Chains A and B, each alone.
Chain A
């Protein structure tokens, strides 16, 4: 397996606080990698560095063989990396279908081509709509395509935000705590969706996740972060037994007690 994403020694300070401090990990193609760790461990900051929203103070991020650290988010998206945010952040006043279509970059967005149109522009637009509809079907929202996004429940908005990130056919998707706030049945659907993305659609997923049942059941690889640093990495079974894992989730006393 080759690493499609290679994060090496990234650091980011905010004033006196080292939010990410020399963190390194790799994500192999067609796998699910989970980034775990206690609150404040630097997971979301690491996400923001990888997706271009923050420039690291030091370190490198290599995606599909290219250095991407410090590049703009829209450039990184066009290279084939999409992300979601902790909140769904759907466009409330747009229809569900339009929300997804925002994720498609096309010629017709340029003012000149918006005026002139032409066969190629129109064909691209039609293809974008069809792709958006197909993805809405995958996440179970096609029946609601014409409704305003604000009419959707929180869980449905979460699925919509994931659909929006998928419509540009990214190679890798970064999902920031996608299961938070979902009830049991939608939770199951989301886990199923993530599994399908990797096995059927041949995508790669990097996940921030707090629910250990999800992490341990669907991850090919788990990366543990603590205080800004990656402290352990391996299969779920390997990381579960790691000394730092016990320390992170149960506290230092338990480490001492278990020895």
Chain B
């Protein structure tokens, strides 16, 4: 049961990361290669504020969101004017800097050892423990984040974002402040990724510099495209498939089999087949990626 709870929690955290990445990539055409960094910034902000500064979990979580959004604005102001491919490279550079800072700013981040002892959330006298309590907490956060993204995608905001994604000049000619809108959306993406980082920190009670680099960025992009762009359901299906698929292989094979390499190869094959036969994603309705 605990194993299943763990899988569910991980799928939900990644679904929240994917839906906020979709707001950037799918809806606004902002090809964010920095999403994993904002996730890390949120996790570290939460850990530092609770463990070192002694703030309560809720304040720390709100400030983690604010920190993610604030850094996204700082990074977005100079880079969002760049074309799609240059923007990807600039954000990749940003993600390298973030990982390097986390490892080297030992006075703040405890360097490669990470920060232990992040408290679990509590409401009044009720302290969330592991197991069902944590599952409930993550489920409530996920419901909140999906609700917000559903509101975005079912409001006039959606048409304005899609206009920017498809033709910036036409969007400008129709009165849309393209630069400001892109910065706001990028900040929202950074804020929600940081919120996911807070959720992860509360769950693991531990943050470390691993897991916010290139591998996570690529995993998040893969989750988005496997599930499908501009789709709330897709943002759930993508992470579910990519997280549960490798787990299935744990139960095949016998003693002495070296399942690890076969597992990776099958995983790669799944991605290739999906992109060949369903480029729009499993439940998405738009084809591929535009830059």
What residues of chain A have their CB less than 8 Å away from a CB belonging to chain B?
51-53, 72-74, 77-78, 82-83, 85, 89, 91-94, 98, 101-106, 108-111, 113-115, 117, 125, 128, 164-165, 168
Check A101–B173 contact: CB distance below 8 A: no
Given A114-B155, A115-B152, A102:B169 Cβ within 8 A: no
CA distance A72 to B177 in the complex (A): 9
User: Is the CB–CB distance between A109 and B163 below 8 Å?
Assistant: no
Complex: how many Å from CA A104 to CA B166? 17
Cross-chain contact of A105 among B155, B175, B185 (Cβ < 8 A): B175
Asked whether, in the complex, the Cβ of B162 is within 8 Å of the Cβ of A94, the reply is yes
Judging by beta carbons under 8 Å apart, are B162 and A91 in contact? yes
Report the Cα distance A106→B155, complex, angstroms: 11
Q: Is the CB of B157 within 8 A of A77?
A: no
- Let me know if A109 and B169 touch, CB within 8 A: no
B105 within 8 A of A: no
Residues of B within 8 A of A (CB): 148, 151-152, 155-157, 159-160, 162-163, 166-167, 169-178, 184-185, 188, 286
**CB-nearest residue of chain A relative to B172?**
A73
Q: How far, in whole Å, are A51 and B160 apart by their CA atoms in the complex?
A: 20
Q: Which residues of chain A come closer than 8 Å to B175, judged between CB atoms?
A: 74, 77-78, 103, 105, 168
B176 neighbours in A (Cβ, 8 Å): 74, 102, 105
Cβ–Cβ < 8 Å partners of A74 in chain B:
172, 174-178
User: By the criterion CB–CB under 8 Å, are A101 and B159 in contact?
Assistant: yes
Q: Are A98 and B173 in contact (CB under 8 A)?
A: no
Instruction: Say how far A97's CB is from chain B's closest CB, in angstroms.
Output: 10
Contact B157 A102 (CB under 8 A): no
Partner of B159, one of A77, A92, A94: A94
| A residues near B172, Cβ cutoff 8 Å | 52-53, 72-74, 77
Shortest CB-to-CB span from B28 to chain A, Å, is: 12
In the complex, what residues of B have CB within 8 A of residue A77's CB?
A: 172-175
Q: Is the interface of B mostly helix, strand, loop or mixed?
A: helix
A114 touching B170, Cβ below 8 Å = no
* Known interface pairs A111-B188, A115-B152, A164-B174; A93-B286 also in contact (CB < 8 Å): yes
Q: Which of A83, A93, A109 contacts B173 (CB 8 A)?
A: A83
Q: Which residue of A lies closest to B154 (CB)?
A: A114
| Cβ–Cβ < 8 Å partners of A101 in chain B | 156, 159
CB distance from A94 to the nearest CB of B (A): 6
Interface centre among A72, A82, A102, A104 (most CB of B within 10 A): A102
**A91 x B167 contact (CB < 8 A):** yes
Using A91-B162, A93-B286, A102-B163 as known contacts, say yes or no to A128 and B173 having CB atoms under 8 A apart.
Answer: no
Chain A hits for B171, CB < 8 A = 102
B169: A residues at CB distance < 8 A: 53, 73, 85, 89
Query: Which A residues are in CB contact (< 8 Å) with B167?
Result: 89, 91
In angstroms, how far is the closest chain B Cβ from the Cβ of A42? 19
Using A78-B175, A105-B175, A111-B184 as known contacts, say yes or no to A85 and B170 having CB atoms under 8 A apart.
yes
When the two chains form the complex, which single residue of A78, A92, A109, A168 contacts B156, counting CB atoms closer than 8 Å?
A109
- Most chain B CB within 10 A, of A51, A53, A101, A108, is at A108
Q: How far is the CB of A225 from chain B (nearest CB, A)?
A: 22
Known: A111-B152, A114-B155. 10 other contacts (CB 8 A): A73-B173, A89-B167, A91-B170, A93-B166, A102-B162, A102-B174, A106-B156, A108-B157, A109-B160, A111-B185
CA distance A114 to B181 in the complex (A): 13
Q: B178 contacts which chain A residues (CB < 8 A)?
A: 74
Residue of B nearest to A116 (CB): B151
> In the complex, what residues of A have CB within 8 A of residue B157's CB?
108-111, 114
In the complex, the answer to whether B173 meets A102 with C-beta atoms within 8 Å is no
Q: Which residue of A lies closest to B178 (CB)?
A: A74
A selection of 10 A-B contacts at a CB cut-off of 8 Å is A72-B172, A85-B173, A98-B159, A102-B163, A102-B174, A103-B175, A106-B156, A109-B156, A111-B185, A115-B152
A85 to B177 alpha-carbon distance, docked (Å): 18
Q: Residue among A72, A74, A83, A113 with the most chain B CB within 10 A?
A: A74
Contact status of A115 and B166, CB under 8 A, knowing A72-B172, A102-B171, A110-B157: no
Please indicate which of the listed interface residues A73, A104, A108 has the most CB atoms of chain B within 10 Å of its own CB.
Answer: A73
Q: Which residues of B contact A114 (CB under 8 A)?
A: 151-152, 155-157
Cα(A113)–Cα(B157), bound, Å: 9
B158 to chain A, nearest CB (A): 8
